């Protein structure tokens, strides 16, 4: 599967300042942030290194190049970034082939957005091969557009992925609601000028102007998202 980019002028949420909803994947829609850490622990363990639990907050939500690069530097492991990327992606894929739990409220929210024909995009720092595997369970039909971390010159925390998603949907980033679970993703969405709903998964995220923090997706529905844009 490749990214699909609808023509400009895509139907928007009528009667509201909300034009589209852009969602992160790992830790936001699917409960997989722990899978990445487990894969990292396993791979580095095989290389003879023990990862410090405190590093988990540093690598969560980041692009593979940043997270893997940090762990190589921190451990001094004798492995290249390209070699490590292959091993981590494989370790993650092995885990999602066994189970892929959705975050509470995710299925209901996706169904609600589809019912009301709200343009929706998946925007992830994960590579395309990972996104496509996850979409087999989550349902690619929920998304008009998907953006992978290895398909943009600069991924999160840069704004590029969210700007690309808004452009692909033909909407104004300022009228997009973004749902993210990490500080890295929040930074990317805010840099793109989007309204952000933070649903922290591993590390806490503080409220800020233009940002709303909720404990889970069970607190997010379409009236809630409309209200954010109208506030």
Span 162-194, pLDDT tens digits: 999 999 999 999 999 999 999 999 999 999 999
Asked whether 116 and 8 are in contact (CB, 8 A), the reply is no
Separation in Å, CA 174 to CA 17, 177, 189: 9, 8, 10
Separation in Å, CA 214 to CA 14, 127, 219, 223: 25, 27, 7, 15
Helix (H) or strand (E) holding 95: helix 81-96
Comparing CA positions, the residue from 15, 2, 17, 10 lying closest to residue 174 is 17
pLDDT tens digit sequence for 210-222:
899 999 999 999 9
Q: Comparing 2-6, 45-49, 202-206, which segment has the lowest mean pLDDT?
A: 2-6
Summary mean pLDDT of the chain: 89
Instruction: Identify the band that residue 48 occupies on the pLDDT scale cut at 50, 70 and 90.
Output: very high
Comparing CA positions, the residue from 9, 41, 36, 10 lying closest to residue 25 is 36
Beta strands, E only, 67-138: 120-123
Q: Say how far apart CA 70 and CA 59 lie, in whole Å.
A: 8
pLDDT tens digit sequence for 65-88:
888 899 999 999 999 999 999 999
Instruction: Identify the band that residue 16 occupies on the pLDDT scale cut at 50, 70 and 90.
Output: low
Question: What is the value of pTM for the model shown?
Answer: 0.79
Q: Say how far apart CA 116 and CA 139 lie, in whole Å.
A: 17
């Amino acid at each position: 599967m490749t990214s699909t980019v609808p023509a400009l002028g895509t139907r928007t949420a009528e009667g509201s300042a909300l034009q589209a909803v852009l969602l992160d994947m790992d830790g936001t829609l699917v409960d997989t942030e722990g899978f990445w850490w487990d894969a990292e622990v396993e791979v580095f363990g095989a290389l003879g290194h023990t990862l410090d639990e405190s590093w988990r907050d540093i690598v969560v939500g980041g692009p593979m190049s940043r997270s893997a690069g940090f762990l190589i530097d921190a451990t001094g492991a004798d492995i290249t970034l390209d070699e490590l990327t292959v091993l981590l992606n494989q370790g993650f894929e092995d885990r999602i082939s066994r189970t892929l739990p959705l975050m509470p409220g995710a299925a209901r929210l996706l169904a609600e957005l589809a019912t009301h024909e709200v343009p929706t995009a998946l925007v992830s720092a994960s590579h395309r091969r990972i996104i496509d595997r996850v979409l087999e369970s989550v349902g690619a039909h929920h998304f008009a557009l998907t953006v992978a971390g290895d398909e943009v010159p600069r991924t999160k925390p840069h704004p590029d992925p969210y700007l690309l998603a808004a452009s692909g949907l033909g909407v104004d980033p300022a009228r997009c609601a973004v749902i993210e679970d990490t500080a890295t993703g929040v930074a990317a969405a805010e840099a793109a000028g989007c309204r952000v709903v933070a649903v922290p998964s591993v590390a806490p995220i503080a409220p800020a102007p233009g940002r709303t923090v909720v404990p889970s997706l069970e607190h997010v529905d379409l009236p809630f998202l409309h209200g954010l844009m109208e506030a």
